[in-house]
Each structure stands twice: as structure tokens, then as C-alpha cells.
Amino acid sequence: MDLERARVMVTGGAGFLGRFVQQRLRTAGCAQILAPRSSECDLRERAQIDAYLSRTRPDAVVHLAAIVGGIGANQASPGRFLYENAIMGLELMEMARRHGVKKVLVTGTICSYPKITRVPFNEDDLWLGYPEETNAPYGLAKKLVMVQGEAYRRQYGLAVVNLLLVNLYGPGDNFSPDSSHVIPALIKKCVEAKRRGSDHVEVWGDGTATREFLYVRDAADAIVTALAAYDKEAPMNVGSGMEISIKDLVEKIASLVGFTGEIRWDTTKPNGQPRRLVDSGRVHREIGWSATTSFDQGLGETIAWYVESTDGDQRVPAGRPR
């Protein structure tokens, strides 16, 4: 797809990832970017999608909009996470087909993988088991939309691309204690504990679970590169190749922000999936993409953004771990 000539609709364009995707589209020469807010186009309502596409006629849709959160949010609202993520994808893709959209890129999730699967996760293993229970409704909703894309490609010839993203982080992330993912949640805990002079922070689980994280700007680059250069049915993992335990992650963040208190583990709370690390070989082979931001650099920038945005102690270090 020639992005310089294309009109591209980005759902969730005002969100954390969406802002970086819009920025990356502009650097790729895309001058026609549509980023409707939910008040302008509620993706749960077919009539609103129909009216918006009739009016704007995009050539491509990048579907980023989603209801997301950490383990606590998934446990608190499993029905909402399943219904709203599924219905947004299903209705959007159907309307895109009807309105002659040429290409749809959908961002999926590694929460769709089985709870127990070989590591690193390979795209061929997506159907070998049920997802980890705490986020299964969300993972299955996104998986259904992935299957929809495969079916629509086969029956209608709609070019649908699906990218399976690992956990994202970066400046501008969601730091709400009710819905944030692990990195912003831990940054907030450690920074605020340091500011208050607290002697400890409490963390869910026992610290043994592992995760893979991707800097948001790298994710945006993968999305825009795939939009321009990839047109196959097979989904592609998008990750950094770096696996870290929650224990090591907490210690790294505490060191970066200068928090020297105790890390207390609440083992009555779930760990989530035991390990997460994906095989990103396919995305590298197909479009030549690899992550370029080191974890220390990305984490330092994220911490610095949070400290500055909350008018905190500007002496909090944001460089390499001590």
C-alpha cells in the first residue's frame, strides 16, 4: 500500500499506541489520517461505523481500539472485555468490507496464546490450548477477530493483516491503578512510595512470572511497516526478544527511581501466565522489522515522563540501573 496516497483510519488514534502510530504514519508520508473519537464513531454501534465510513471513505483501517487492562481489570470485567473487544472488531471489519476498504490491519494480543505453550511462542501454536484464565475472555475476543480476518480474506478478498503484540510501555502510558498494565503500575508504586518516604511497596504474585515488553514507538513502527509492506493471512508476533521476570522488573524500576524500601509480595494474588516470550522471526523475515529501543532506554524515558508529568521530585534518576 502506498501510504503517501492512502487515506488511513486509525481506531483508538487518540490513545497511547494510537498517537505514536499517527506520528509514524506522518513520517511515512501519509497526509490523510482519520482518527475518530468514540463520540464521533462508536465502534460498538454498526450504524455509527456505517455512517462514518460512508462519509470518510478510508482506503485502509488500522484497528487499535480496545478495552484493555492488567490482571485486576481483566478479573473485574471479563464480560465487558470479551463483548466490547469482540463486537468492535466484528462490526468494524464487516462495515469495512461493505464500504470497499482495501486493507485492514488488526492488532491482536499474545493473551490469545495457550496458557501452557512452548517458549518462545510461535504463531503455529495459537490453537494448542486455552488461554491463561485471568485474561482468557480478552484473548479469545481478539482471537475471534483474527479468525474473522482470515475468513474475510478467503471469502471476500479483503486484505486483513493481524499483528500479535506483546505488552507495550512508554511515555504517555496508562498509569491508572485500576486499569494499568504492569510497568506503569510498578513505576507509579515505586515513584509514589519514594515521594511519601514509604518503607515498602506491595506487588501481586510471587515474582516468578516472566514477561516480554515492547517500547511503544517500536510497536508503531512495526504497525506502519506492516501496513505498507505485508499482505498475507498468517498472523505475526511483534516483540522485542527480551524476557524478564516480574521480580527482576520490580528491582530494576526501584533502582531507576531511587526507591530503596522493601518489595513485599502478595502471593494471594495471581501471577498470570507463567512465561511470555514470543518468536518474532516471522515479522523480521517478512518485512525486515526488529525492535531498536533497548529496555533500559525505554524504561528510563517512561519513568522520566511519569515523574515530569506528575510534577514530582525532578531528582529521580531516569538513567541506567544502579
Q: Is 138 a catalytic residue?
A: yes
Specify whether the CB–CB gap between 272 and 132 falls below 8 A.
yes
Q: Which fold would CATH assign to domain 7-169+212-238? A: Rossmann fold (3.40.50)
Q: In this structure, which amino acid lies at residue 48?
A: Q
pLDDT of residue 103: 98
* Domain locations in the chain as residue ranges: 7-169+212-238
Q: How many CB atoms lie within 10 A of CB 224?
A: 25
| HSE-up (13 A, CA, CB side) for residue 220 | 23
DSSP E strands in 94-178: the ranges are 103-109, 159-165, 167-169
Choose among 147, 156, 141: nearest CA to 96.
156
138, 152, 215, 306: the active-site residue: 138
In angstroms, rounded to a whole number, what is the distance separating the alpha carbons of residues 35 and 161? 19
CA distance 235 to 161: 7
The reported pLDDT for the residue numbered 313 is: 47
For residue 60, the one-letter residue type is: A
322 residues of the chain, pLDDT tens digit each = 999 999 999 999 999 999 999 999 999 999 999 999 999 999 999 999 999 999 999 999 999 999 988 888 889 999 999 999 999 999 999 999 999 999 999 999 999 999 999 999 999 999 999 999 999 999 999 999 999 999 999 999 999 999 999 999 999 999 988 888 999 999 999 999 999 999 999 999 999 999 999 999 999 999 999 999 999 999 999 999 999 999 999 999 999 999 999 999 999 999 999 999 999 999 999 999 999 999 999 999 999 999 999 964 444 443 332 2
Name which of 157, 149, 175, 134 is nearest 305 in CA terms: 175
Q: By the 8 A CB rule, do 159 and 102 touch?
A: yes
